[in-house]
Amino acid sequence: MMMMRPYSLSSSSSLTVTPQNPKLSAAHSFFFPPLSGTTALTFSSNPTHLTKRLSLKCRQSEYFDQQKLATTTAHYDNSSSFAPQTPSSRADQVPARFYVGHSIYKGKAALTVEPKAPEFTALDSGAFKVSKEGFVLLQFAPAAGVRVYDWSRKQVFSLSVTEIGNLVSLGATGSCEFFHDPFKGRSDEGQVRKMLKVEPLPDGSGHFFNLSVQNKLINLDENIYIPVTRAEFAVLNSAFNFILPHLLGWSAFANSIKPEEMSRGNNASPKYGGDYEWKR
């Protein structure tokens, strides 16, 4: 084993290393491996002294990379997602959420459309089941001036997946209407009545969205309508068609499928009976 020779170091702008052992040949050169995150030291010799050449290598610590990643993740977690509300056992597993919507502004009213995610219930097996389907929330606000809308007087109407299906299947001359009683089956049934009518415009250029609300509890009788052009209606239909599988929870199911499970039969719920049909 080679023994390390003692050296004396003098600190200056040109740092030199002088061997204290006179028997050491001046023709030798030495390299000291750098420590992690420090300077690399290279020593070369000449007839009179050894000169230390410094090469500085800056390397960012993995700690700072992890801190940066955590900060970025926290930013998205706090941002305004449409993500299914599934229970989570750990706080750091909560998915990022993005709140989205689409608005149509006209002279007499404004209409905002927002999807609302389905709700899931945890089963004893560790899986999740849809407990409440998602929906699309329509918000109507009357105009209070030129390009000014009174959102304090807004009226809301929630479209179920079936009602969305009715809308997307409308033709250029088709019409439909939906009736809601928020208190149906309760003691206040009939006190609040909401009706949404979607009818074609007389010139065939689009549809009227007309929401009428009668609330006997606060003595309110409101009627808000807004024309929706054919192009605007096409945008709504495209968004509705895209979001429907998510409102049903089917997208969450599709994302949970693993390749190794594709060939397995699903016998968790015999009531569906799909496996029995194909196994006959």
Q: Domain 102-254 maps to which CATH number in 3.30.230.70, 3.50.50.60, 2.30.31.10, 3.40.50.2300? A: 2.30.31.10
**Mean pLDDT, the chain, integer:** 76
Q: How far apart, in whole angstroms, are the C-alpha atoms of residue 24 and residue 113? A: 84
Share of the chain above pLDDT 90, in %: 52
Residue, of 221 and 40, whose pLDDT is higher:
221
Q: How far apart, in whole angstroms, are the C-alpha atoms of residue 279 and residue 267? A: 12
Alpha helix segments (H runs only) across the chain = 62-77, 161-168, 230-247, 250-256, 274-278
Gap between the terminal Cα atoms of the chain? 78
Q: For residue 126, give the DSSP letter.
A: S
Burial of 77 (0-12, 13-18, 19+ CB in 10 A): middle
Average pLDDT on 144-166 reads: 96
How high is the pLDDT of residue 213?
Answer: 97
The domain locations on the chain are 102-254
Place of tokens 């479209």: 159
What is the residue-wise DSSP string for 17-83? EEES-TTS-TT--EEEPPPTTS-EEEEEE-SS-EEEEEE------HHHHHHHHHHHHHHHHT-----
Show contacts of 273-280: CB within 8 Å, 24+ apart. none
Residue, of 278 and 205, whose pLDDT is higher:
205
How high is the pLDDT of residue 93?
Answer: 67
Q: How far apart, in whole angstroms, are the C-alpha atoms of residue 207 and residue 183? A: 29
Place of tokens 């179920």: 160
* Amino acid sitting at position 130: V
How high is the pLDDT of residue 157?
Answer: 97
Q: How far apart, in whole angstroms, are the C-alpha atoms of residue 224 and residue 138? A: 12
SS3 content of the chain, % helix, strand, coil (to 5): 25, 35, 40
**pLDDT tens for residues 210-254?**
999 999 999 999 999 999 999 999 999 999 999 999 999 999 999
How high is the pLDDT of residue 96?
Answer: 81
pTM of the shown model: 0.62
